[in-house]
């Protein structure tokens, strides 16, 4: 249990606030790339509150001026260590679209302003601290450090980089969610153990020149070898992937020049329900620091202020997702009582309108480990729980989640409790009891349900780590059937991804044809974004599937990526030339014409079409032109989101 008696109020962000709270010298100074938001959806809030609950004082330096050395010295020298986090998002993903163009806003900065954190924030902050304070321990953590803890491919520079532990000049790296490891580090430092000797904490990475004391470790390919032979990185990554479990993972040793080793200890054990409850019951202020009010606050709070985090971890195993490396595959949950307490606190907020925006986590409908053995023996190293088909040992059971949702929607003051985080539809279909599915449709959808099939070609789905098309189509049929039975008119919005490894123009065209048959064009498309520590990124960099060593087709050419993306939005007149080029290159001229199966019309110099009608030249898609007329001149009804998955005659 965490200690009680914590005073309410924000942690100090200025020297004046530090003095007002009676702190002469903080135990920790926490340097963060985000604005300071004291809400349990923000990593810096959880870590600082957990440390405070264990008796340590923490001061916050939010978004320091990384060009000014003194910006890191606001509170002077901390007694124990500097902590560093790049923020809730990786700083590079925060700054750049997959096209490497700058994003226009930053939701984690006051007023949504950009440019308040550097690229590769963890590395920059670490070096800034080391320049000003040469003898103070520096401990890095958060998503950016966690996913760069070992050598990795960096998409933005198109290069192979060392562990961020080395580049940031930090002493220790805490990976994963970090609550347990940070407390153990704090206690070791507080007892006078030198930071260089803290090599025993699970969930940490350290550097050393002496590996003689490591028991049963696995030596990975050397950094210099992986840098010149990418296939060795594929081998290394698969070893890392197979050692992300606290019950059966081993220490991993990565050699570097000059006799240096980066050593990753096995992960921390998963949090118990009581431990998660303790963490989420801490006295968060649940909003941003009041100093940001004049800039309009911090935009990110609007998405999470009235949402509940019910779980962590994910056994879904999507290859493009880094959750396996960051939170692990073992699902951890909070109790109903803890979630109800948080919901009741929400209800008392003056701007609560009766709607809980979300009850979920990485995957909303995971409320327990996938099978009984995971909590004693760990997850299977060479087998996934849901992919390519559900494991025979899988326990697909929504009864606990259903009971929780029923309690929440029965609370006085709650009109609706929505589910907006991801629903894993193949897990839903594996449950022999339809009760949750029915109540999901009846009570917990705000007009449309977002799901992530990602693609419809089985060859690409296999590389994505997603279920086959047939599973998604069964889900769609059942969803519409339940809506019909309940008298609902709710719709599905499928998330789709272009240019994932394994997707050629052939598969991209097949996806466009599928959308044509649905009568739907997505407003947004996610082009595959290679981020560190995912199976898909390893495929992108090496051209090898690390799971089996086989070659994979990779779309790296920006122009081909643009064609694959354009095909998903083939109705948009702006995409006409790209779609036409893709169809010609793919040998699918049959999809250029006036037939209802065609994606686009031929390019015509004269604006004359069959039946003597005019105006159907270079425009667009599905047998209509940019003027909104069919080939015979009839007006076309505008498609809306309500047409998704409503094929003619389909229930």
Is the C-alpha dihedral spanning 162, 166, 170, 175 positive or negative? Answer: positive
Closest CA to 148 of 127, 170, 129, 181: 170
> Distance (Å, rounded) from C-alpha 300 to C-alpha 650?
39
Q: Token match 């992108």: residue?
A: 540
Do the beta carbons of residue 35 and residue 288 sit within 8 Å?
yes
Q: Which residues pair with 308 in a beta bridge?
A: 359
Phi, psi of 527 (to 5 degrees): -75, 140
Residue 650 — pLDDT band, cuts 50, 70, 90? very low
Q: Please tell me the predicted confidence (pLDDT) of residue 617.
A: 36
Between residues 300 and 615, the one the model is more confident about: 300
Least confident of 349-353, 474-478, 604-608: 604-608
Residue 630 predicted with pLDDT over 70:
no
Cα 607 to chain center, whole Å? Answer: 48
Q: What is the pLDDT of residue 486?
A: 96
473 confidence band (pLDDT: 50, 70, 90): very high
As a dihedral over the C-alpha atoms of residue 579, residue 581, residue 583, residue 588, rounded to 10 degrees, the angle is 150
Cα(592)–Cα(523) distance, rounded to whole angstroms? 23
Structure tokens at 50: 């957990």
pLDDT in tens, 500-556: 999 999 999 999 999 999 888 888 889 999 999 999 999 999 999 999 999 999 999
Kindly give the pairing relationship between strand 172-174 and strand 58-62.
unpaired
CA atoms within 13 A on the CB side of 413: 14
Packing angle between helix 399-409 and helix 336-347, nearest 10 degrees? 30
Rounded CA separation 616/166 (Å): 60
* pLDDT of the residue at 525: 86
**Which range, of 6-20, 309-323, 613-627, averages the lowest pLDDT?**
613-627
Please give the pLDDT value at position 6: 56
Peptide bond connecting 395 to the previous residue in cis, omega within 30 degrees of 0: no
The residue-averaged pLDDT of 25-39 equals 98
Omega cis (within 30) before 388: yes
pLDDT of 621 strictly over 80: no
Question: What's the pTM value of the predicted model, to 2 decimals?
Answer: 0.90
Which H or E run includes 82? strand 81-85
- Cα-Cα-Cα-Cα dihedral sign, residues 284, 288, 293, 296: negative
pLDDT for the residue numbered 603: 85
Task: Classify residue 52 by its DSSP letter.
Answer: H
Closest CA to 366 of 343, 393, 398: 398
CATH code for the part of the protein at 15-207: 3.40.50.280
Three-state DSSP class for residue 419: coil
pLDDT recorded at residue 89: 95
Given a cut of 90, whether residue 8 has pLDDT beyond it is no
Q: How far is CA 230 from the centre of its chain?
A: 25
Q: Give the pLDDT of residue 375.
A: 87
pLDDT of residue 421: 85
pLDDT(150) > 50: yes
Please, which residues bridge with residue 85 across strands? 32, 141
| pLDDT cut 70: percent of the chain above it | 92
Burial class (CB in 10 A: 0-12, 13-18, 19+), 133: middle
Which residues does residue 45 pair with via DSSP β-bridges, in sequence order? none
pLDDT over threshold 80, residue 583: yes
Question: Tell me, what's the pLDDT at 523?
Answer: 81
- Rg of the chain, C-alpha, whole Å: 26
Which residue is associated with the tokens 């006051």? 110
Average pLDDT of the segment spanning 152-178:
97
> 106: which 2 tokens?
């930053």
Q: What SS3 state is found at 384?
A: coil
Extents of the domains making up the chain: 15-207
Whole-number Å distance between alpha carbons of 418 and 353: 13
pLDDT band at 7, cuts 50/70/90? low
Given a contact cutoff of 8 angstroms between Cβ atoms, the answer to whether 437 and 428 are in contact is yes
Residue 618 scores a pLDDT above 80: no
Residue 7 CA to its chain's centroid (Å): 33
Q: What is the pLDDT of residues 353-403, one digit of tens each?
A: 999 999 999 999 999 999 989 988 999 988 899 999 999 999 999 999 999
User: pLDDT tens across 53-80, in order?
Assistant: 999 999 999 999 999 999 999 999 999 9
Rounded CA separation 214/225 (Å)? 22
Considering only CA atoms, which of 67, 65, 79 is closest in space to residue 31?
65
Residue 624 scores a pLDDT above 50? no
Of the candidates 240, 242, 245, 243, the residue with the CA atom closest to the CA atom of residue 268 = 245
pLDDT of residue 604: 72
From the list 281, 286, 343, the residue with the least C-alpha distance to 10 is 286
How far apart CA 131 and CA 633 sit, in angstroms, is 71
What is the rounded distance in angstroms from the CA atom of residue 542 to the CA atom of residue 549?
A: 10
Mean pLDDT for 163-190 is: 97
Higher pLDDT, 598 or 520: 598
Give the residue from 185, 205, 203 showing the smallest Cα distance to 194.
185
Q: Is the pLDDT of residue 632 over 50?
A: no
- The rounded percent of the chain whose pLDDT value lies above 90 is 87
Both tokens assigned to 126:
């670490």
Q: Which residues make Cβ contacts (< 8 Å) with residue 398, sequence separation at least 6?
A: 365, 367, 428, 431, 433, 435, 436, 437
185: nearest Cα among 322, 83, 287:
83
Residue 97 has pLDDT above 80, yes or no: yes
Q: At what angle do helices 558-568 and 505-518 cross, to 10 degrees?
A: 20
The values of phi and psi at residue 28, to 5°, are: -135, 140
Question: What is the rounded CA–CA span in Å between residue 364 and residue 168?
Answer: 35
CA distances for 563 relative to 182, 339, 507, 569, angstroms: 46, 45, 12, 10
Number of Cβ atoms within 10 Å of the Cβ of 478: 17
b/e map 342-365, b = 16+ CB within 10 Å: bbeebeeeeebeeebbbbbbbbbb
CA distance 296 to 438: 40
Rounded to an integer, the average pLDDT of 439-460 is: 94
Assess whether pLDDT exceeds 50 at residue 614. no
Confidence (pLDDT) at 642: 41
Q: What is the 3-state secondary structure (H, E, C) of 122-181?
A: HHHHHHHHHHHCCCCCEEEEHHHHHCCCCCEEECCCCEEECCHHHHCCCCEEECCCCHHH
H and E: helices and strands count for the chain: 23, 22
Integer Cα distance of 499 and 153 in angstroms: 18
């Amino acid at each position: 249990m965490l200690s009680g008696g914590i005073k309410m109020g924000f942690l100090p962000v200025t020297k004046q606030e530090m003095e007002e709270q009676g702190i002469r010298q903080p135990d920790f100074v926490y340097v963060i790339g985000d604005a300071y938001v004291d809400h349990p959806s923000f990593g810096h809030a959880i870590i600082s509150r957990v440390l405070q609950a264990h008796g340590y004082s923490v001061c916050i330096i939010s978004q320091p001026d990384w060009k000014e050395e003194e910006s890191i010295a606001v509170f002077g020298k901390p007694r124990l260590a500097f902590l560093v986090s790049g923020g809730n998002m990786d700083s590079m993903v925060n700054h750049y679209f997959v096209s490497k163009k700058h994003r226009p806003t930053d939701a984690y900065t006051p007023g949504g302003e950009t440019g308040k954190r550097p690229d590769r924030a963890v590395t920059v902050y670490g070096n800034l601290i080391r320049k000003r304070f040469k003898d103070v321990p520096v401990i890095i953590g958060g998503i950016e450090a966690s996913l760069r803890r070992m050598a990795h491919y960096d998409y933005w520079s198109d290069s192979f980089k060392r562990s961020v532990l080395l580049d940031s000049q930090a002493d220790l790296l805490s990976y994963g969610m970090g609550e347990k490891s940070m407390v153990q580090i704090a206690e070791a430092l507080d007892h006078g153990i030198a930071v260089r000797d803290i090599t025993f904490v699970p969930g940490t990475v350290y550097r050393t020149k002496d590996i003689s004391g490591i028991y049963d470790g696995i030596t990975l390919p050397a950094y210099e070898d992986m840098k010149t032979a990418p296939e060795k990185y594929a081998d290394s990554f698969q070893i890392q992937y197979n050692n992300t479990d606290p019950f059966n993972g081993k220490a991993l040793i990565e050699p570097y020049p000059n006799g240096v080793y980066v050593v990753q200890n096995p992960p921390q054990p998963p949090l118990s329900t009581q431990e998660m409850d303790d963490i989420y019951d801490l006295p968060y202020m649940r909003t941003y620091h009041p100093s940001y009010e004049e800039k309009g606050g911090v935009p990110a709070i609007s998405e999470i202020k009235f949402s509940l985090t019910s779980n962590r971890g994910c056994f879904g195993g999507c290859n493009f997702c880094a959750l396996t490396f960051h939170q692990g595959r073992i699902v951890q949950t909070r109790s109903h009582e803890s979630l109800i307490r948080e919901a009741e606190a929400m209800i008392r907020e003056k701007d609560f309108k009766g709607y809980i925006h979300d009850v979920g986590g990485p995957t909303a409908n995971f409320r327990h480990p996938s099978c009984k053995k995971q909590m004693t023996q760990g997850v299977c190293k060479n087998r996934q729980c849901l992919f390519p088909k559900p494991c025979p040992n899988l326990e697909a059971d929504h009864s606990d989640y259903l009971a929780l949702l029923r309690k929440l929607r029965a609370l006085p003051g709650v009109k609706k409790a929505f589910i907006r985080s991801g629903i894993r539809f193949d897990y839903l279909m594996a449950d022999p009891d339809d009760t949750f599915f029915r109540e999901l449709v009846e009570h917990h959808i705000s007009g449309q349900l977002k799901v992530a099939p990602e693609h419809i070609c089985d060859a690409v789905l296999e590389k994505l780590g997603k279920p086959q098309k047939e599973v998604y189509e069964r889900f769609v049929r059942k969803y519409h059937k339940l809506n019909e039975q309940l008298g609902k008119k709710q719709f599905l919005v499928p998330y789709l991804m272009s240019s994932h490894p394994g997707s050629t123009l052939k598969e991209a065209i097949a996806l466009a044809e599928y959308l044509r048959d649905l009568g739907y064009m997505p407003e947004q498309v996610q082009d595959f974004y290679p981020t560190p520590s995912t199976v898909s990124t390893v495929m992108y960099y090496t051209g090898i599937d690390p799971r089996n060593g086989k070659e994979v087709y990779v779309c790296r050419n920006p122009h081909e990526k643009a064609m694959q993306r354009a095909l998903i939005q083939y109705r948009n007149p702006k995409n006409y030339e790209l779609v036409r080029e893709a169809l010609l290159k793919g040998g699918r001229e049959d999809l250029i014409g006036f037939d209802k199966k065609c994606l686009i019309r031929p390019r015509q110099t004269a604006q004359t079409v069959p039946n003597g009608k005019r105006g159907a030249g270079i425009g667009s898609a599905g047998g209509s032109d940019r003027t909104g007329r069919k080939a015979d001149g009839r007006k076309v009804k505008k498609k809306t989101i309500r047409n998704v998955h409503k094929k003619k005659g389909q229930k």
